[in-house]
Amino acid sequence: MISLLCVNTNHMKFAIISDIHDNLANLEKFLYWAKENGIESVICCGDVASSETLTMLAKSFAGHIYLVRGNAELYTEAEARSTRDFPNLEYLGRIGRIEIGGRKIGICHEPFLIEKVIEAGDCEIVFYGHTHKPWIEEKDSFITANPGTLGGVLYKASFAVWDSKSGEIGLKILEQL
């Protein structure tokens, strides 16, 4: 069973990131953009990679970070779960669900886990990573969205922005910002 984490807010502007793969220059550029554009929380769909990159993300972003584990992580589970050093980091394991203003959101890394997230509950949106291809698709009663790769591997560096009140999701190409 996948637990549901309830976030006490009705409106929030989220950035969705994935597949950083230790590209610190792109992470730094994203963090600057996020601060300048009122991003309140980050959902990370995995493949941060090293503990140094995880530390940079957690220490440089003032808002809350919801993180799932990817397939290329070099940090340990204990490092990710350590709230002593990173009180703003909520580590959700391989699959996570959060509820924001009554909307249930699923988070995973690999696409094959999307079905498990959907089976676990009535998610409106599932954010995932792994493929590096930015993608948003609406089918049946839910949306699947891949923010692409912040690391810029195989595709241009990208991320997504989600407004929890309006439900609007948009993709951003880092070099165009």
Order of strands, sheet of 158-163, starting from the edge strand that comes earlier in the sequence? 89-91, 64-67, 41-44, 13-17, 158-163, 169-173
Length of the chain: 177
- Please provide the CATH number assigned to the domain covering 4-152: 3.60.21.10
Contacts (Cβ under 8 Å, ≥6 apart) of 123: 97, 104, 105, 106, 117, 142
Res. 8 pLDDT band, cuts 50 70 90? low
Res. 75 pLDDT band, cuts 50 70 90? confident
| Selected residue with higher pLDDT from 77 and 99 | 99
Is pLDDT above 70 for 6? Answer: no
- The alpha carbon torsion through 67, 71, 72, 73 (nearest 10 deg) reads 40
Q: Give pLDDT, residue 4.
A: 58
- pLDDT, mean of residues 129-152: 94
Q: What are the extents of the domains in the chain?
A: 4-152
Is pLDDT above 90 for 168? Answer: yes
Per-residue model confidence as pLDDT tens digits over 84-101: 678 899 989 899 999 888
